[in-house]
Amino acid sequence: MWELPGGKVEAGEDAEAALHRELAEELGVHVTVGRRVPGPHAGDWPILDGMVMRVWLAEIRKGTPQPLADHDELRWVATARWDTVAWLAPDVPLLEALWPRA
């Protein structure tokens, strides 16, 4: 199954700092964070076991994405073809909100 990059916020870390850390650990990139993508649950996106996900758009400013920690493969998918990938269920509502199916 496929998932969007990111991960848990560590103790003493704010959400944007966690985003930067996770993208560096998982993909080896540094980004400029853009706008937040508000979700339907108090601005967040519900995932599993009552947990929520916060999502931002971002632009790579340094590094070339590679599948590093805990990942075997990295794939760029055209927005019009996002539904050709077997996504983890919690990511699908976000993808549908950004790029509704035709």
CATH of the domain at 42: 3.90.79.10
Neighbour tally for 27: CB within 10 Å: 21
pTM across the whole model = 0.85
pLDDT at 70 over 90: no
What domain range includes position 36?
Answer: 15-98
The answer to whether residue 8 is domain-embedded is no
| pLDDT at position 58 | 95
Judge whether 2 lies within some domain.
no
CA distance 41 to 66: 31
Tally of domains in the chain: 1
Structure tokens given for 47 = 């995932």
- Residue 88: inside a domain: yes
In-domain check, residue 10: no
**Of 62-66, 70-74, 87-91, minimum mean pLDDT range:** 70-74
Q: Looking at per-residue confidence, does 7 or 64 come out higher?
A: 64
Residue 78 lies in a domain: yes
* pLDDT greater than 70 at residue 102: no
